[in-house]
Amino acid sequence: MYKTDVLYVAYLRVSTQRQGYSGLGLEAQREIIQNYLRETKPIFEYVEVESGRKTDKGRPKLKEALSQCRTYGAKLIVAKLDRLARNVSFLSALLESDVEIVFCDFPQANKMVLHILASISQYEAELISTRTKQALAAKKARGCKLGNPEHLMDKHKEAIAKSNETNRKKAEDNPNNKRAVAMLRILAAQGKTLSEMTDTLNNEGFVTSQGHEFRVSQVYVLLKRYNIKY
């Protein structure tokens, strides 16, 4: 997995409108990729500011990254599957292309698994869009004024802050997270890397608040949330 003779081109993406919801900023993506590669460094890094639902026509940085992969015989590396695409047909075309793609959150996943995950991600995105449109239509039908430019951004930020605070309190009260955090403090003090801490939690039987194995991105969030230095 960590061969130094393998070349990588890193691709990072944030959404213009939804980047605040993901909790996975550019620095977090860089750290996840670097912890996956360990001593190896990407030969190029491309940052896209674009919605994940757009196709390749709206993804110029992705085109450049793929071009560099072909030029240098490198692999495209992405921190998380949904950082590349939520559109199934778009992802399918990429997976069938001549460029090998590595997803840090699913390094061993085959193409069939990635297709399934992309389908679920696309379905969730479409479901959110449909519900948002229905909610706006219902408000408009009740005579509510929509999209007041003077207050819309403030309300948007307030809603995000409340949601983050609610999620934080739920996470702090969850016994699974408490046990995992206690172990992370020990591992961080031992100088373990993000990937090593994730592997240790999973090997020792720790699970997330939802009862699943930990991913690197989830461990990163816990470390930041509890201000654990590593």
What digits encode the pLDDT tens for the residues 63-106?
899 999 999 999 999 988 776 765 666 666 677 778 888 888 87
Alpha carbon 137 to its chain's center: 30
Q: How far apart are CA 30 and CA 51, in angstroms?
A: 19
Q: Give CATH superfamily name and number for 8-112.
A: Resolvase, N-terminal catalytic domain (3.40.50.1390)
Q: How far apart are CA 73 and CA 119, in angstroms?
A: 29
What digits encode the pLDDT tens for the residues 201-222?
988 888 887 778 888 888 888 8
Assign 23 a pLDDT band (cuts: 50, 70, 90): very low
Assign 3 a pLDDT band (cuts: 50, 70, 90): very low
Sheet containing 44-49, strands listed edge to edge, beginning at the edge strand earlier in sequence: 44-49, 8-14, 75-78, 101-103
Contact (CB, 8 A) for 83 and 115: no
Which residue spans of the chain are classified as CATH 3.40.50.1390?
A: 8-112
Beta carbons within 8 Å of 204's beta carbon, 6+ residues apart: 183
Strands 101-103 and 75-78: parallel
Q: How far apart are CA 186 and CA 75, in angstroms?
A: 34
Q: What percent of the chain is modeled with pLDDT above 90?
A: 16
pLDDT for 148 beyond 60:
no
Question: Any bridge partners for residue 52, and if so which?
Answer: none
Question: Any bridge partners for residue 76, and if so which?
Answer: 9, 101
In the structure encoding, which two tokens stand for residue 187, read together?
A: 């591992």
The pTM of the whole model exceeds 0.95: no
What digits encode the pLDDT tens for the residues 34-67?
999 988 999 999 998 875 455 545 688 888 999 9
